[in-house]
Protein backbone atom coordinates (compact mmCIF):
# COMPACT_ATOMS: atom_id res chain seq x y z
CA UNK A 1 0.00 0.00 0.00
CA UNK A 2 1.17 3.48 -0.84
CA UNK A 3 1.54 6.15 1.81
CA UNK A 4 -0.58 9.30 1.52
CA UNK A 5 -0.73 12.43 3.60
CA UNK A 6 -3.29 14.66 5.24
CA UNK A 7 -2.81 18.40 5.67
CA UNK A 8 -3.72 20.35 8.77
CA UNK A 9 -4.52 24.05 8.65
CA UNK A 10 -4.66 26.04 11.88
CA UNK A 11 -4.69 29.57 13.25
CA UNK A 12 -4.76 30.89 16.81
CA UNK A 13 -7.50 32.88 18.52
CA UNK A 14 -7.44 36.65 18.35
CA UNK A 15 -4.86 38.21 20.70
CA UNK A 16 -7.48 40.40 22.43
CA UNK A 17 -9.29 37.37 23.87
CA UNK A 18 -12.01 35.42 22.20
CA UNK A 19 -14.88 36.25 24.57
CA UNK A 20 -14.36 39.99 24.16
CA UNK A 21 -13.96 39.51 20.39
CA UNK A 22 -17.23 37.54 20.26
CA UNK A 23 -19.08 40.23 22.19
CA UNK A 24 -17.71 42.91 19.86
CA UNK A 25 -19.10 41.15 16.79
CA UNK A 26 -16.19 39.05 15.53
CA UNK A 27 -17.39 35.78 13.99
CA UNK A 28 -16.70 32.72 16.19
CA UNK A 29 -14.53 31.03 13.58
CA UNK A 30 -12.21 34.05 13.51
CA UNK A 31 -12.28 34.85 17.23
CA UNK A 32 -11.56 31.38 18.58
CA UNK A 33 -8.91 30.06 16.27
CA UNK A 34 -9.53 26.90 14.29
CA UNK A 35 -7.96 23.74 12.93
CA UNK A 36 -9.10 21.89 9.85
CA UNK A 37 -8.01 18.90 7.82
CA UNK A 38 -7.59 18.41 4.09
CA UNK A 39 -7.53 15.05 2.36
CA UNK A 40 -7.10 16.44 -1.16
CA UNK A 41 -3.89 18.45 -0.96
CA UNK A 42 -5.53 21.63 0.32
CA UNK A 43 -8.36 22.06 -2.17
CA UNK A 44 -10.96 21.50 0.56
CA UNK A 45 -10.39 22.10 4.28
CA UNK A 46 -12.89 20.40 6.60
CA UNK A 47 -13.50 21.69 10.10
CA UNK A 48 -15.46 20.39 13.09
CA UNK A 49 -17.92 22.92 14.51
CA UNK A 50 -21.00 23.10 16.71
CA UNK A 51 -24.27 22.74 14.81
CA UNK A 52 -25.83 26.13 15.56
CA UNK A 53 -29.64 25.94 15.70
CA UNK A 54 -31.41 27.66 12.80
CA UNK A 55 -32.24 31.28 13.55
CA UNK A 56 -29.68 31.51 16.36
CA UNK A 57 -26.84 33.99 16.55
CA UNK A 58 -23.59 31.96 16.23
CA UNK A 59 -21.66 34.41 18.47
CA UNK A 60 -24.21 34.06 21.26
CA UNK A 61 -24.39 30.27 20.94
CA UNK A 62 -20.62 29.83 21.05
CA UNK A 63 -20.34 32.27 23.97
CA UNK A 64 -22.87 30.15 25.89
CA UNK A 65 -20.96 26.96 25.09
CA UNK A 66 -17.78 28.48 26.49
CA UNK A 67 -19.20 30.21 29.55
CA UNK A 68 -21.49 27.38 30.68
CA UNK A 69 -19.53 24.34 29.44
CA UNK A 70 -22.46 23.21 27.31
CA UNK A 71 -22.35 21.00 24.22
CA UNK A 72 -24.15 20.93 20.91
CA UNK A 73 -24.23 18.30 18.20
CA UNK A 74 -21.05 18.50 16.15
CA UNK A 75 -20.90 18.86 12.40
CA UNK A 76 -18.10 18.75 9.82
CA UNK A 77 -18.22 21.65 7.36
CA UNK A 78 -16.25 22.88 4.39
CA UNK A 79 -14.20 25.62 6.05
CA UNK A 80 -11.94 26.39 3.10
CA UNK A 81 -13.27 29.95 2.82
CA UNK A 82 -12.56 30.66 6.50
CA UNK A 83 -8.91 29.62 6.20
CA UNK A 84 -8.45 31.48 2.91
CA UNK A 85 -9.92 34.62 4.48
CA UNK A 86 -7.53 34.49 7.45
CA UNK A 87 -4.63 33.77 5.09
CA UNK A 88 -5.41 36.67 2.75
CA UNK A 89 -6.58 39.33 5.23
CA UNK A 90 -3.87 38.56 7.82
CA UNK A 91 -5.68 39.87 10.92
CA UNK A 92 -3.29 41.14 13.61
CA UNK A 93 -1.85 38.26 15.60
CA UNK A 94 -3.29 35.54 13.36
CA UNK A 95 -1.46 33.45 10.81
CA UNK A 96 -2.43 30.21 9.08
CA UNK A 97 -0.05 27.34 9.86
CA UNK A 98 0.13 24.26 7.65
CA UNK A 99 1.28 20.83 8.83
CA UNK A 100 1.11 17.37 7.37
CA UNK A 101 1.11 13.77 8.42
CA UNK A 102 1.88 10.75 6.29
CA UNK A 103 -0.77 8.04 6.59
CA UNK A 104 -1.27 4.65 5.00
CA UNK A 105 -4.06 4.01 2.52
CA UNK A 106 -5.93 2.08 5.22
CA UNK A 107 -5.61 4.96 7.71
CA UNK A 108 -6.82 7.41 5.07
CA UNK A 109 -9.91 5.28 4.42
CA UNK A 110 -10.69 5.11 8.15
CA UNK A 111 -10.22 8.88 8.56
CA UNK A 112 -12.41 9.58 5.53
CA UNK A 113 -15.19 7.31 6.84
CA UNK A 114 -15.26 9.08 10.22
CA UNK A 115 -14.95 12.56 8.71
CA UNK A 116 -17.94 12.10 6.41
CA UNK A 117 -20.12 10.05 8.77
CA UNK A 118 -23.45 11.78 9.44
CA UNK A 119 -23.24 10.92 13.15
CA UNK A 120 -20.55 13.11 14.71
CA UNK A 121 -19.59 13.56 18.38
CA UNK A 122 -20.85 16.39 20.57
CA UNK A 123 -19.05 19.73 20.25
CA UNK A 124 -17.91 21.47 23.42
CA UNK A 125 -15.01 23.35 24.96
CA UNK A 126 -14.69 21.51 28.27
CA UNK A 127 -12.37 18.50 28.30
CA UNK A 128 -15.10 16.43 29.95
CA UNK A 129 -17.96 17.42 27.65
CA UNK A 130 -17.57 17.09 23.93
CA UNK A 131 -14.79 17.79 21.49
CA UNK A 132 -13.58 21.00 19.88
CA UNK A 133 -11.98 21.27 16.43
CA UNK A 134 -8.54 20.27 17.75
CA UNK A 135 -9.53 17.38 20.00
CA UNK A 136 -11.82 16.11 17.22
CA UNK A 137 -8.78 15.64 14.98
CA UNK A 138 -6.49 14.15 17.63
CA UNK A 139 -8.96 12.05 19.66
CA UNK A 140 -11.81 11.21 17.29
CA UNK A 141 -9.89 10.90 14.04
CA UNK A 142 -6.77 9.61 15.83
CA UNK A 143 -4.37 12.01 14.16
CA UNK A 144 -1.51 13.33 16.24
CA UNK A 145 2.19 13.78 15.70
CA UNK A 146 1.84 16.36 12.93
CA UNK A 147 4.93 18.08 11.58
CA UNK A 148 5.15 21.77 10.70
CA UNK A 149 6.20 22.49 7.14
pLDDT over 90, % of the chain:
42
Report the predicted TM-score, pTM, of the whole model to 2 decimal places.
Answer: 0.85
* Closest CA relative to residue 50, chosen from 136, 139, 142: 136
Q: Is 91 a residue whose pLDDT tops 50? A: yes
Per-residue pLDDT at 16: 66
Q: How confident is the model at residue 148 (pLDDT cuts 50, 70, 90)?
A: very low
The whole-number pLDDT of residue 54 equals 92
Contact between 112 and 39 under an 8 Å Cβ cutoff? The reply is: yes
Give the residues across from 100 on adjacent strands.
Answer: 7, 147
Confidence of residue 47 (pLDDT cuts 50, 70, 90): very high
* Residue 72 reports pLDDT greater than 60: yes
| Statement: residue 25 has pLDDT above 80 | no
pLDDT at 77: 95
pLDDT of residue 149: 39
Beta strands in 94-146 (DSSP E): 97-104, 122-124
Q: What are phi and psi of 7, to 5 degrees?
A: -105, 145
Q: Per-residue pLDDT for 65 more than 60?
A: yes
Tens-place pLDDT, residues 114-127: 999 999 999 988 66
Has residue 30 got a pLDDT over 80?
no
Amino acid sequence: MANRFVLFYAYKSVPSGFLSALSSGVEPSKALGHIGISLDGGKTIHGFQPKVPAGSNPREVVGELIRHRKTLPGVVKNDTAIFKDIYTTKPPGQKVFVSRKIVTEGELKAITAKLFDEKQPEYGFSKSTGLNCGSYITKYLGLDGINKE
